[in-house]
Amino acid sequence: MRNPADTSVKNYFGGDAFEPMNAERWTAQSSRHCPPYLNSAQVYGHPEYPDLIDFSRIDHWRYEDDDPPVVTVDFSGSKNEDGAYTDSVSITITAQDPDGVKAVLYKLDDGEWTAYSSAINVNTVGVHDLFVDAEDNKGNKIKIRQYRFKVVAS
């Protein structure tokens, strides 16, 4: 699929000249009289294509999605002057993607990978490592992220 940000592609919407392609414009595909490298919105009304009137479907021009989900990890709890959490910490993970999120996984220290479903509460004293992984419905994955934090007794 051609990149809609490529301004070397031109549209004809009447007048004397072709205009640069605008990725936000609605485009229509024609089932006939349309060269394979152009869509009907690019040539509709152009003198070279006077018979272009059969619009069989209308689609919005879409970018190819190769972006992973946007993941946010929030830690909440009381901290001491050294930045360590006192007694416990609650961790929430959110993931968003226009195509939907297929999975959000986490692993605490040397534990098993677990599907995230609700806040993670850690009250074991010590230094901990949280690993987070996520994938969208198109198979795009984030790079596994590691978060190190410390819990101390009050």
Residues 66-98 have pLDDT tens digits of 889 999 999 999 999 999 999 999 999 999 998
pLDDT over 60 (residue 5):
no
Residue 46's pLDDT is: 52
- For the chain, how far is it from start to end, CA to CA, in angstroms? 59
Residue 43's pLDDT is: 46
Domains of the chain, by residue range, sit at 10-60, 70-152
**Which residues contact residue 34 at a Cβ distance below 8 angstroms, ignoring those fewer than 6 apart?**
40, 43, 49, 52
Q: What is the pLDDT of residues 99-127, one digit of tens each?
A: 899 999 999 999 999 999 999 999 999 99
pLDDT over 50 (residue 12):
no
Instruction: Give the CATH number of domain 70-152; options: 2.40.40.20, 3.90.320.10, 1.20.950.20, 2.60.40.10.
Output: 2.60.40.10
| DSSP three-state, residue 41 | helix
C-alpha span between 21 and 108 (Å, rounded)? 48
The answer to whether 69 touches 144, Cβ cutoff 8 Å, is no
pTM for the whole structure: 0.60
C-alpha span between 152 and 77 (Å, rounded)? 12
Rounded mean pLDDT, 50-74: 65
